[in-house]
Amino acid sequence: MKVNQLQELITNSVQGAIDHYKLTANDQNPDWAGFKSEVTNKIFRDIQQNVEYEALKNKLDILFTYEQRYLTLIKDFKEEIKFANTLQEDLRKERAKFFSETLHEVSSTLTNAQIESSVASKWIQDLVLTYTTSLDLSSNLIDENTLDTIGKIREMAQAGNASIGLTEHNEQPK
């Protein structure tokens, strides 16, 4: 019901009550039109506040249900999320260690073994290329797994199926 329709309904109801009890301007109040308008407006404001409160309450209930569903999904996928995070963290550490320590050790070993500088340089370049390619491939696989997990969470959230636990995707029953 629209605001204008609601106000018209209230006005008609107040007028109906006045007509029913046969109240007139001579009864108790000389400013009858102002009184009638004041009563109508008061009733309208009270109803409007109640309607607005109910609409807000309904929206908050929907939001609460939505957030509760996502929280349940996050709890259900907690181990997968931790696993993906650990894989990504380990890969970053491995990449950093390779360039900060391992590469320096290999270079020192080649120098100590008195390998010709041009051969050692070529060998190190090939090692860096091969190793970074391997790390990039691992990173892509981790990203793909992470995106698959996110996709599952989104599908379950959209389906409203937050009650499914880890048993559907590789864990022991709870």
CA 109 from centroid of its chain's CA atoms: 51
Report how far Cα 51 is from the mean position of its chain's Cα atoms.
Answer: 28
Give domain limits for the chain: 3-69, 77-168
Distance CA 117, CA 47 (A): 88
**E strands, 26-115, in order:** none
Give the pTM: 0.53
> How many whole angstroms separate alpha carbon 48 and alpha carbon 41?
10
Q: In this predicted model, what pLDDT tens digit does every residue of 133-149 receive, in sequence order?
A: 999 999 999 999 888 88
25-29, 30-34, 141-145: the lowest-pLDDT one: 25-29
